[in-house]
Structure 1
Amino acid sequence: MVITPPTFDSERQRQIFSFFVTCTSSVTSVYYSSDFWSRLVLQLSLSEPAIKYALCSLGALHRMFRASQKANPDGTAIEFQNYSLSQYNLAVKCTQRLLAQSSSGDSDLVVKGLVACVLFVCYENLVGNYRAAQMHLQNGLKILPRAVDGHGKQSPTVPDNIVQVLNRLDLQAMSFADSEAPYPYHLGQSLSMPTSSPSFSYIRDATDHLIETFRWIFWLAASSEPNPIPQWQLDATSTVLQQWANEFDRLAPFLPTDDRNTIVLLKMYHTTMTIMIATGLYGQESLHDEYHGLYEHIVALGKALFDQQRAAGSMDGYIFCFETGIIFPLFFVAIKCRHLLIRRQAIALLKTADHQEGTWESVAAAKVAEFVMGVEEENLPQGAGSEQVLESARVHLVNISANTERRRIDLSCLLRTSEEDSWYFREGTVFY
């Protein structure tokens, strides 16, 4: 597709925009074959300055992250960081005008406002302003119901790819629980259980249904806390997952090779959710020992995905994207699977992945997982298996507070005493 570029303020801005078009928009679609990044945002940037500035801001951030990956980083990364901030500020200023105009209900202005909202979420996630990212995300999600007709269908004025990106960013926010900016479940809309009789014609149908189910699981856990999730809801969700697998198995043989990354990623997500529901999410941690086979499957899928990316030449040692990808399922394995080998394989993949996926950074996730592993295995006899990790030594919950600028994470691990009548925290700090 040929993009006629917009009018630029400077040669530097033109170069950054070109970098976004040729590099950022393609690599950020590595997991989802969405034309949101490859077509929609580029088209809107031609007529809307807010979108142009936001894309240049994200392109400069991408350049900053790449510059910081060098063996001997220089001042280039700081220059890109400062330029990214200046472009972001211009985007915000233009968007304020855009939002004032969109109050008239003009559908084109609403679409542009939603796209700007998505881009702002991505920017704030990458610079570690998670509270601001939550604010932009919730604002975008609140706009969507206004564009729903009386039959419950999305208005054609809001393209499906915008809704899909917002839902995936919502899942990312749920999965990444920074203690300084916890997910505002009390502000969000109540989610309902997805249909247990799905029908998929395309990979996007399967993706949308599974993302919806994943969001439902996080919402279900939060709405039930501190009480256990009712068994009937766990059983019903398990049925949804099984029906998804049946329908996906029917669809998969007919999917093109371009969807191979998405196929593997969806299988990783589905297996992760299967374990979460089977163990009751916040149940006895020793229940996870019954699912070593599924944990091993997630790690094998992760390795297969990396191999596919290398074979396709899409992995030059660093993957930068705005949406959730492979890091969360591998991190889940690393903190919940106590099998010594499988857990270490997951951590090793995170270390070598060198992925930046919105809020998630693979090296940081590996460091947190290593800390959790150290807490659980500190009194483990030499050569012991996972069954010898006592329930009282197992971490139930990990709270983190990340400082991306200092590349520091403060964390606290929630454990239960051997008498199971009280809880306590083990705290620490990791650098990455």
Structure 2
Amino acid sequence: MRRKCDGYAGETGQPPLQTTSTAVAAPGAMLMSNAGSFEERRALDFFCHYTAQQFPGLFLDDFWCRLLQLSNIEPAIRHAMIAVGSIHEQYETYMTTISVAGSVADTSHRFAVTEYNKATSSLVKRLSADSNSVLTTIVACLLFISLEFLRGEVDQALTHLQSGLNILSNWREGPRASTESSTVEEVLPVFERLSMTSSLFGRPAYQLYTQQIDPATLPSSQVTFDGLPGARKSLVGLVNVSLQFIQSVLRRKNRLEVTFEDVVRQNRLENLLRQWEQSFEALTGRQRWSLPEQNSITLLRIHQRTILIWLLTSLLPNETSYDLYNANFEHVINMATEELVDSFANRSPQGGRASNFSFEMQLIAPIYFLAIKCRVGWIRRKAITHLYKMASKEGPWDSIRSAKVAERVVVLEEAGIDRSAGQDLPPEWSRIHHADIKCDKHPTTGQQLVEFLSKPNGEWKTRQEYLVLS
């Protein structure tokens, strides 16, 4: 059972994030120091009691709770937490409501923006006094990312992410302040997962370390871990390296210029993903798990199987190559049971407030991948139904927007099926290789611009449409 943040070590046994300052308040006084206005106290209270519990999603993580101590001595972090708490409360209160109390929402939004500006100003002052303060900078960066996700400003959020990754990459390769090393290392896994999320969202895969990892040189020993957190961390690393490989060979496969080295690297990554699966099954078969843990286990299996399908098709230029893995797609949709989807549609910490936002990527991305890359009618339609049912956001991923884009992909692709000739899958010429949601909106209708990339006559064709995605 999750509990509210109180400043003590949480479920993972980790203490609050430490800084070089000795000004540490007593846990019970966290919300009282620098009390501020009623609006500030309300937003900070919402962050502590709800946001910190809901951002991790299905996986328990006390990182957000452990920001309390840092916020007590860093104004930039405190103002950023207040801004995020305010925006998050607005999102949970208004985003799924047809009729919005405009004046109330506008006033709250202005307050959040004011706190956001205070956070950036405080951060600039902090860096002017100590340009090497990496911890404060990257924690503020994470809070800014979460705020932009909540506002729906995905590109701005990913710009913040790029800045944070650059800072961490330079920090890893340069001299480190010993006082911050251990606590900055605690934040790295959050950025590694964000890097994975960004890549899956269509942005270039980012290597957190300046030296590019060659899959062929990765350790050949059996992939092992001693618990679900370790399994998750291991899989995130494998997904990130796989995404870097997939993006690196994209142009070569489209030009039919795949090399023997590409095949070797693909085979190496496939073996590592299958080793992870074997180790994971050995781990999960050793004991009984609670229902939330069972859901986490299923989610990790879905992630592993989805990236494996993508990897196995990464050197084949035709979209029909995905048809070779329809049995795998069916396995994934069968794992995404109604009970699992219901747990995301009604996500709520035990005894807590329900939420339809998670900072972490969880189920939306793999189910969307299923809907656009599997051309078996009943599978992709069931995936779209799941996306609508979840009606939630996970970082940059919006299940409703994803469902609407996937529906349009289905219509465009299935228009090419010749039922009279016995076809039941779309032909290659009508298949969509990529669907990209643009920032542009129609000047009068407000509809979102979406680009669909296909190859109907051996030549690339881009189709642009304005769609209602909200």
| TM interval, short-chain normalised | 0.7 to 0.9
- Alignment partner for residue 261 of structure 1, among 284, 295, 313? 295
How far is the alpha carbon of 1:259 from its aligned partner? Answer: 3.1
State the secondary structure of the residue aligned to 1:73.
coil
Tell whether 2:398 aligns with 1:370: no
Q: Does residue 396 of structure 2 align to residue 359 of structure 1?
A: yes
Alignment of 1:30-41 (within 5 A): 30-37=57-64, 39-41=65-67
| TM-aligned CA deviation for residue 184 of structure 1 | 7.4
Instruction: Say yes or no: does 1:89 pair with 2:117.
Output: yes
Specify the code of the residue in structure 2 equivalent to 1:417. Answer: P
Structure 1 equivalent of residue 54 of structure 2:
27
SS of 1:30 mapped into structure 2: coil
- The answer as to whether partners of 1:54 and 1:116 remain within 8 angstroms in 2 is yes
Residue matched to 1:283: 317
In the other structure, the counterpart of 2:377 is: 340
**1:224 paired to 2:261:** no
Deviations 1:161-205 (A, max 9, x none): 31111111111111113xxxx547599845423545322012222
The one-letter amino acid paired with 2:312 is A
Q: Report the counterpart of residue 238 of structure 2 in structure 1.
A: 213
CA distance in 1, matches of 2:106, 2:463: 35
Q: 1:375 to 1:223 in 2, by over 3 A?
A: same
Paired letter, 1:101: A
Amino acid across the alignment from 2:415:
E
Report if the CA contact (8 A) 2:83-2:112 is conserved: yes
- The aligned residue for residue 165 of structure 1 is 190
Q: How is 1:245-260 mapped onto 2 (pairs within 5 angstroms)?
A: 245-253=277-285, 254=287, 256-257=289-290, 258-260=292-294
After TM superposition, give the deviation of residue 326 of structure 1 in Å.
1.0
- Tell me which residue corresponds to 1:236: 268
Candidates 424, 429, 436, aligned match of 1:399: 436
Match of 1:138 in 2: 162
User: Is 1:79 equivalent to 2:107 in the alignment?
Assistant: yes
The 1-side partners of 2:464 and 2:270 are apart by: 34
With the length of structure 1 as denominator, give the TM-score of the two structures.
0.87
Cross-structure match for 1:61: 87
Match of 1:411 in 2: 450
Of 155-164 and 113-122, the range deviating more from structure 2 = 155-164
Q: Which structure: larger Rg?
A: 2
Against the structure 1 CA distance between its residues 333 and 124, is the aligned structure 2 distance closer, same or farther, given a 3 Å change threshold? same
Is the 1:376–1:389 contact (alpha carbons within 8 Å) kept by the matching residues of 2?
Answer: yes
Indicate the SS of the match to 1:401. Answer: strand
Deviation at 1:282, TM superposition (A): 5.6
Query: Equivalent of 2:143, from 119, 124, 127?
Result: 119
Q: Aligned-pair distance for 1:101?
A: 3.2
Aligned length: 419
Match of 1:11 among 19, 38, 41: 38
Give the aligned CA root-mean-square deviation in angstroms: 3.0
The Cα shift of 1:363 comes to 0.3
**Structure 1 residues 260, 53: closer, same or farther in 2, change over 3 A?**
farther
Aligned in 2, Cα 1:386/1:274: closer, same or farther, shift over 3 Å? farther
Which position in structure 1 is the counterpart of 2:14? none
- Shift of residue 27, structure 1, vs aligned partner: 1.3
Aligned to 2:328: 294
Closer/same/farther in 2, CA of residues 310 and 368 from structure 1, 3 Å limit: closer
CA shift, 1:134, in A, is 3.1
- CA distance 1:145–1:416, shift in 2 (3 Å): closer
Closer, same or farther: CA 401–207 of 1 in aligned 2, 3 Å? same
AA of the residue aligned to 1:278: L
Could you say if the C-alpha distance between residues 407 and 68 of structure 1 is closer, same or farther in structure 2, counting changes exceeding 3 Å? Answer: farther
Structure 1 unaligned segments of length 5 or more: list them.
none
Distance (Å, rounded) in 2 between the aligned partners of 1:404 and 1:55: 30
Give the secondary structure class of the aligned counterpart of 2:252.
coil
What CA distance in whole angstroms lies between the structure 1 residues aligned with 2:315 and 2:49? 41
CA spacing shift, 1:310–1:380, aligned 2, 3 Å: closer
- Change over 3 Å in CA distance of 1:198–1:383 after alignment to 2: farther
Q: Quick check: 376-385 or 317-326, which moved more?
A: 376-385
Closer/same/farther in 2, CA of residues 314 and 408 from structure 1, 3 Å limit: farther
Within 1, Cα distance between the matches of 2:185 and 2:449? 38
Q: Secondary structure at the match of 1:121?
A: helix
Aligned residue identity for 1:341: W
Query: Relative to 1, partners in 2 of residues 1:317 and 1:31: Cα closer, same or farther, differing over 3 Å?
Result: closer
CA positional deviation for 1:353: 0.4
Gap regions ≥5 residues in structure 2: 8-29
In structure 2, what is the equivalent of residue 305 of structure 1?
340
Q: Helix, strand or coil: the match of 1:396?
A: strand
Q: Give the Cα separation in 1 of the matches to 2:411 and 2:139.
A: 42
How far the C-alpha of 1:159 sits from its partner, in A, is 4.4
Relative distance call for 1:311 and 1:363 in structure 2 (3 A) is closer
Measured in 2, the distance between the counterparts of 1:169 and 1:386 equals: 40
Amino acid at match of 2:88: H
Give, in whole Å, the separation in 2 of the partners of 1:348 and 1:385: 26
Q: Provide the C-alpha distance between the structure 2 equivalents of 1:81 and 1:281, rounded to a whole number of angstroms.
A: 47
Q: Give, in angstroms, the shift of residue 428 of structure 1.
A: 1.2
